[in-house]
A and B are shown apart, each in its own frame.
Chain A
């Protein structure tokens, strides 16, 4: 427990000074994807559900935040909350349909519904189709903090990330989280103990969708636009990769995975162009073959081994 506390402290301290050492927008992008991956991890790592269409929540919330801020004139904080709630509501709809099945069928239904939404976004006028929804103003937080300043925005984004990360952790270590773990471990047994597992899975799905939405909405605020890329199935695949690479079912894993992938993409995009997807693929294969527990998972196992050997 203490070791974990030190970990949290270190990560937070690092993030507080990060914008002075690294380009803030890059760190904000990492934070958005880290929150997205953490939300995804709540499902796969702690409930055992592989959603293969999670980008739909990131994308939807991105558009909703963009539209509500730009066209309806919502202040940024309200736009984010509204977008996250919309994503959660969509999560309720998609979740209710998908949770009737499990395993690969669950993954396929989530993918299919996400693709359906993708084509809706491609066609409806307010998203700007292929061009995306451009020129979203960052506005003033609570009416007086100017978010056009990258540093101000950075600390706002960090606060959102910390809130999301805290909420996910609290969920994992709550009475509800205990039931989720029981369902992941042995679903039939959980049923025989009197739990309506579908309801628990649905609530986990809605929470995950809402937080993924919060990540997507925040991303729109950072980049001032929302595009189809965020709702594309590539992004759904990317979040799987981030979570697996970092360590599924670990608290810090998705953060480490998101940081690695986003940084690599950022560094490599200029140098190798489209080869970046090949490199990502190679990393994925390497990860699955050599360190299956992911970066954080392997480090944790190593730490246990070392302290256990003593």
Chain B
């Protein structure tokens, strides 16, 4: 059978015979014979304290964990090759006499610590030479301790009389389900080799169900769309009741296929991408006609500035660093200008592209590390359970694109030898430039990842790999650190307070000076439903337990020698998961830890993808289906927990009636009407003060300059918190040269759902706005109401400045729209700063 041929549906569902010419099915990602070779001669493996003595190759004793040669040996891979060659020779000649040589290999203490390589990758080999390869009942995993259940025993042992608690000998044949009777035997050893479904055992014998999966996922998305429709019609509770079944439908449709052992590699890849895209649509449908999440509006402002001014690196009132890291907006603007599509279409398309790149790259990356499409698919499913996958990393924000670039950069570096020096160099340099231009923190973390990877390679004494990785890291360091140095003051203003506040809050909690933040309720007091708390805590507990090598997490599949280095790094990221849990004690640290989880889950996805699939694929066939279902149920559980953790309360996921300071739920027709009026009636760049939601929308879509302490050095938020208008308010207005104040009278309806009304630190925590505080602008002489749609009012307050205030560069009375084109207005405001 040629290597390019496809599997047919007429094949046995769980096993296949080797082809005549030895070529494997192309849907199977295999490892080398050396990696997966299983010698068939008897033998033993002795363990000493830190050495392994291989006297003869032993079934089930792969040497993939050999990480360091005996003293004097120059290179691990050479040792591995030597060992593997011996094993290959032995495998080719099952009845060959035992190798008299003894190979002593020192175990790598780091490898033991991180446990990356205590089992084989167990890719379905489909080997090229008949008569060698894994035994029909080989368990594609290993342990350093002898297993009493090791299946390769004399046939008489495998009778029911010997093992009465086992149903039938056939069940010993592993997930492949092949019976020993069906395997040709030569000299007491199997001559033919059915492919078993190991971690990579995606024996592509099942029919391709990707279209059916897509249909089920689409039905789930439609259910989600209906739930949002109900929410918009004023029934958010009913909508929420429908939302979760829709989300779970999308997730389960993908996970059930990804966890099956007989799914082909191509289908796994398709389903992985479909899973990412389906969940993206589930989020995006909440705001499909216009973005309205807080972070998205900030980046939309950068995009609109790019289009209005034609230039880059403009001033930004709400997030000054955003125009300095404009990769996402540059890409979106390229799509807008090249294709002539509206901004919203380009925004949706670019984020969708980023999602596809992320999922696609993650699949290939895990596959490279594990040599297993099975593990890769499971890894993608695990990453879909991460807190930020459904919500934050589906938004039009720079991290969304940056995390995809990070994953692809890792993939390119893993694959660098396949591209050739020049192509790989261009790919790596271009990606580093794009990453450095896209997101500051992600680029720095990526540099850290590569530095860690380099160190791991040098720790393995793989100087060639370490040197190459060091060069890649150096390029990234130059790009990321260089660009950060250019913007160091701006980054300091932005990140400095966040970090210092995080340390301060964490220190207070640790020293007992402050209580940890209130869990399971938002700042307005809206409680999280009990079942969501159970899922959240349960998923956190499960991820925490997964760090400990017990139970199903005990199996650590093998990786090949070089990729083991990256695997160790990913394992370290996995081990960092408890940090994200500890970080939730204080508000600021919780924000940081949630952001950190985006990267930690890369390690979790890779490591647990391998581990879980090893566990599933090495069970008896009769119980495997049950374990797959059980694992899928756990997956749904952790998916709910992760989604709740990342997206917050129900109101954040469901459109519906207005809520006080609640992201998209605070953007309603009144806010839209006020924005539209301001966009046409007020000069672009007028200095305004508004609440967190209305203000940022007027800043973004309305093209006004929202006065914030970050972007203007003065905050207008305190204006809201006085019942009367006094000198303090005048001073605030004068300092911020505030021209217009936007008042939404509904702010008095309750506490904000998102921590603060207008700006962080505006008032003591728990301070609630009252109607009298908001009504003072109606009665204050000099305050002129220029717009009123009922809840939302806009006041011209220029006349309220202190008498000694300098003249404002803008007109006090709104002029005609034609008098101030947006581009000019924006530039003048930027210059005025």
Q: Are A and B a genuine interacting pair, yes or no? A: no
**A residues at B contact (CB < 8 Å):** none
